[in-house]
Amino acid sequence: MVTQSAAYGEECFRYQVCFVPTRTDKIAIHVHPDGSVRVDAPEQADLTTVKQAVMKKALWVLGHIKKAREQREHVLPREYVSGESYFYLGRRYVLKVSRATKGAATVKLTRGQFVVSTTDTSPVSIQAALNGWYHEHARSYLGDRLAVVCGQVPGGARVPQWRLRNMRKQWGSCSPKGIISLNQHLVKAPRECIDYVLLHELCHLKEHNHSKGFYRLLAEHLPDWKSLKAKLDGMAEMLLNE
């Protein structure tokens, strides 16, 4: 990707240009929920042509950037009290805090609710209980899905070494040594979005950067990856909120 900037009136914004092998003619502009801007362009396009396309849509881009910023302001910090909603595999579940008389805190997902039973109902205690539950289920579910996705890759793929991390800005990463890191919060996303992230990181085992070759490989294995990425981006603020 190449980072560029554009000015419209008194406003200025940055955008990333992604040269997509499968795109043949039109230049597409995307404004993500965090206000960042990505431009998908054909491989043969030059940066001058891309900027001309961006400037034609500059007013539209700035409007969507403003809207994205306003929406983010409405994502309230968690209070960890009954009635809040929490995600698991793309579905919302209502939190119910129940005071226990003894024993360690327990978390159960039942009848559309996250039921936390604990002797300490402080926000710190509830948060710790939920994080523990998410960590346990993320390790199990993401490990299972990684094995499934590896098996779906043409020719098969060996399940790589992987680890679970609590990341704020990334869903996953792949180290130069081929170790995949996955965000614990990813287990809150829909299954198809999870599979997209897993395949994205598996492609990095062959293409270690976001080159044209990487996107060609990703599109070969998952033709609709862009729609899945957009869906996940649209949920990011809610899924990462804690």
Both 42 and 92 in a single domain?
no
- Residue 74 in this model has a pLDDT that exceeds 60: no
The predicted-structure confidence for 10-53, as pLDDT tens digits, reads as follows 899 999 998 887 777 789 898 877 788 989 888 888 999 999 99
Whole-number average pLDDT of the chain: 89
Signed CA dihedral, 126, 130, 135, 140: sign only: positive
Q: What is the CATH number of the domain that holds 136?
A: 3.30.2010.10
Domains identified in the chain, total number: 2
* Closest among 232, 227, 141 to 187, alpha carbons compared: 141
Both 203 and 113 in a single domain?
yes
Residue 79 falls within a domain, yes or no?
A: no
Both 58 and 90 in a single domain?
no
Residue 80 falls within a domain, yes or no?
A: no
Both 89 and 68 in a single domain?
no
Both 116 and 224 in a single domain?
yes
Residue 133 falls within a domain, yes or no?
A: yes
Residue 166 falls within a domain, yes or no?
A: yes
Q: Give exposure, 157-186, as e/b (b: 16+ Cβ within 10 Å).
A: beebebebeebeeebbebeeeeebbbbbbb
The last residue of one of the domains, among 16, 41, 73, is 73
Query: Residue 108 is inside which H or E element, if any?
Result: strand 106-110
Both 35 and 115 in a single domain?
no
- Residue 2 in this model has a pLDDT that exceeds 90: no
Structural domain of 109: 85-239
Residue 78 falls within a domain, yes or no?
A: no
